[in-house]
Amino acid sequence: MDNIFLDNVARVLNVTVDMLKEDSTAQTIPEWDSLNHWRVVETLEDVFDVEFTMDEATEFKNLGDIYKILMEKVNKVKEKSK
């Protein structure tokens, strides 16, 4: 998971980057509450200039999942602009 992604998530959750793993969830990180979660979603949308659908936003399984879907969107945008 790339640094820009991890830095932003860590900042919003107010944790250190090394605490973030692919299988991290709201259960494994106490700072990750519902309020923070939406903030993470919005921040990633802002920083990477993509949009998660409402359904996508409710179905994230863990941090790695968020990263995977985010990268899919980012690459799709890159493909379009080529």
Partner 1 sequence: MDKSINIAILGNCTTEYIAQALQDECEKKNISAYIYNAPYDQYNQEILNIDSGLYTSKPEITILFLESFLLFPQWFEFTNLTSDKDNKLSQIQSAFDKLISLIEKIHANSDTKIIMNNFKLPYHSPLGLLDGKYYPGIKDMISMLNMKLNMWSEDKEYLFIFDYNGISAQFGHKKSVSQKMIYLANNPATLAFTRVLAGEYMRYILPLKFMSKKCLVLDLDNTLWGGVAGEDGISGIELDITGPGKSYYDFQKEILNLYNKGILLALNSKNNFDDAISIIENHPHMLLRPSHFSSLKINWNDKAKNISEIAKELNIGIDSIVFFDDNPVERELVKTLLPDVTVISVPNDSSKYADTLKNLVEFELLMITKEDIQRNEMYFANLKRNESISQYKSIDDYLASLEMKIILEYANEFSIPRIAQLTQKTNQFNMTTKRYLDKDIESMAKSEQYMVISCQAIDRLGDNGITGVCIAYLEGANAEIDTYLLSCRILGRNIEYAFIHDVIRRLRNKGIQKIYASYIRTDKNKANENFYEKAGFSKYLWTGSEAKSGLPQALQNDDTNKMLYCIDSDSQLKGIPYIEVI
Considering the rule CB under 8 A, would residue 14 count as an interface residue with partner 1?
no
What whole-number distance in Å separates Cα of residue 74 and Cα of residue 54?
Answer: 17
Considering the rule CB under 8 A, would residue 58 count as an interface residue with partner 1?
yes
Considering the rule CB under 8 A, would residue 61 count as an interface residue with partner 1?
no
* Window of 2-10, 18-26, 53-61, 69-77 that interacts with partner 1 by CB under 8 A: 53-61
Residue 21's contacts (CB-CB under 8 Å, 6 or more residues apart) are: 28, 63, 64
Interface residues with partner 1 (CB under 8 A)?
Answer: 34-35, 38-39, 42-43, 46, 52-54, 57-58
